[in-house]
Amino acid sequence: MLAHGNSFIWSTDARSFRASADDGALCGLLLGPLLATTMLISALEEDGSTDESGSYLPNGPALTNPPWIVEGPVPILQGQAVSSAAASMSALSLSRCTLLSLQTMISMIFLSHLCATRWARQWPQRTLQSNWQRLRSYSGASVVIIGLLWILREAFGHFGVPLWTGLARWEMISASILFQASMYAISRLGRRSFTLGELGIVAALGVTLMIEAMNLTLAKLLPHTTPYVKSFRRATPLLIFQLALIVGTFFVGFLLSPLLYLSRHLAQKPLHRLRWPHKRDLHRRLLAGFFYFFAALFVAGALGLWVRWLLGQRDPWLWTIRFIVLGKHWWTRPLLIAYWLACITGSIAGWQAVVSRAKKFRAASSAIGKPFTTQPQISVPPNSANSTPAVTHSAARDGALIKSKKTTHLSLNARRKFFHALAVIMYVPAIAIDPAFTHLAFSLAFSVFTFAEYIRYYALYPFGASFHIFMSEFTDHKDSGPVILSHFYLLTGCCGGLWLEAHKQIMHQTGVLILGIGDALASIVGRRYGRLHWPASSKTIEGSAAFLSSVVFSAWFLRVIGWCQDFSLLRYTGVVSILCLIEGVSEQNDNLILPIFGFIYLSLAHV
């Protein structure tokens, strides 16, 4: 029913999504429930007990000191009695039952949109022209879908069939509204930046984080109505900081959206169409200043107070400073920070120099007055007795440009894969040496990336133009829309094992190995040496072979040097082989889907 490239959400069309032979609808439908099922199985297999606060307490030898836990779960429900259900199962297992209900409901909403648009195209309808018409139509369809889901749940419950019973009614309504609102907002702001499947996955992950933050807040605010902490991961300070950094950053963008909209509007609109054209720069400075001021006020004020409240009135800034010096030695985490800053600073400075030279090269090329070519221009004197050509001054200038081009030019693929290699250099040692600190650093990096994208996309003064020029040097067809996403996907894929609380060290590293080594080498080898292509794909079998061999060898090497515990190399090779097939035939963004599939398969295979 869901043919490739023919499915949309309500009030959208093909122009809203990135052009792709595979719209990814199947990934969008299945990935969330599969991931939730995997996490539930993991919690059940390693089930422990709950303390009086309802927080999860691991009791198996493999879980005595999970590496992402800083000080154990925060006792949010102090003095609260545990329900009979929570007594037989850990709070983590019960919470992940709720997560499975949430993801299946989200997939049902997504499927409803796909079926509704398929059905609507069979009938003649008036084309929606204005944004307000589209919004009204989408809002109406969303209300209808929420009502049908509510009726479906109550009908099944009446006959004793559990359907989404792990979700409270307020959770069901809130998640339904947030998911559909997120899909519409993302499809409008990130036009042509996502395939349909990527849209569903990103919206589902965002809603899951928001529901998790709401559950933590409710458990702290109304402890007598909450039998256990309903977070989908252990309620450690790392989780609290992550939700504050990621969910809080998006909340900042939502609250300050009028300022962001006006900034982009002023930057894009021609001067002659502005009411006060001579004051445009002043207005842009004022808008940017107000955004920076209110964003800082919200982070330091509202988010800081929320974190303090959940941490039991401990100051979050002092907690962070103390956390930095609580590594294996007092200097290990400051040294790790210095190492990261050196890598980032050196990379940005080097690439900024390359971008500057490339701009000068293009300016010099355009100064010739015609498109640049690598062939020197030859002129023949019109009245010459012989026809021997002479190299003109223009040819000498073209020769200088050729030399300049060779020193500044790198292929787009090489430029992009450089950052994959940088991820390996930065993250592999950090995850092996200090996964807890790396967990927090990943959350902070995601928040910084989000603010940087606000500045670039909305052209905030004075950094918007510089960010846009720099990032444009590294975009390919998968970043064809106004929003640049590859670096978000790369960061999320690298840190997925830590954020999802994998219990094997090799699972912490696999995201980095897949994207930083496997995907990079697959692209380079496939482009240079590839001859045999996968069916209906531009990717090659030679590239997939490089992917498989490099990832497996890297994982084996990490085990040899002691940066990860022992694991089954045979089962690991089988899982990576499956990922090779997915990488070869999928048209979705590899940085997003490969690490998620890798986590699912590695968990189920018990590597």
Three-state SS string across 201-253, please? HHHHHHHHHHHHHHHHHHHHHCHHHCCCCCCCCCCCHHHHHHHHHHHHHHHHH
| Mean local confidence (pLDDT), 9-19 | 85
pLDDT at 401: 47
164 Rama sector, left if φ>0, alpha if ψ -120 to 50, beta otherwise: left
Tokens of 9: 């959400």
Percent of the chain with pLDDT over 70: 81
pLDDT, one tens digit per residue, over 412-463 is 667 777 888 899 999 999 999 999 999 999 999 999 999 999 999 999 988 9
Give domain status of residue 143, yes or no: yes
Last residue of a domain, one of 213, 235, 257: 235
With 60 as the cut, is the pLDDT of residue 82 above it? Answer: no
Give domain status of residue 344, yes or no: no
Structurally, the chain folds into a number of domains equal to: 2
| Mean local confidence (pLDDT), 22-27 | 88
Tokens of 257: 């959206």
What is the pTM for the complete model shown? Answer: 0.86
Give domain status of residue 286, yes or no: no
Whole-angstrom distance, CA of residue 320 vs CA of residue 311: 12
Domain of 585, in residue numbers:
414-433+473-605
Whole-angstrom distance, CA of residue 592 vs CA of residue 571: 23
Tokens of 296: 């800082």
Give domain status of residue 468, yes or no: no
Give domain status of residue 249, yes or no: no
Give domain status of residue 419, yes or no: yes
Give domain status of residue 191, yes or no: yes
Give domain status of residue 462, yes or no: no
More confident residue, 291 or 71: 291
Last residue of a domain, one of 182, 205, 235: 235
pLDDT, one tens digit per residue, over 94-152 is 899 999 999 999 999 999 999 998 888 777 666 666 778 888 889 999 999 999 999 99
Last residue of a domain, one of 204, 235, 266: 235
More confident residue, 210 or 349: 210
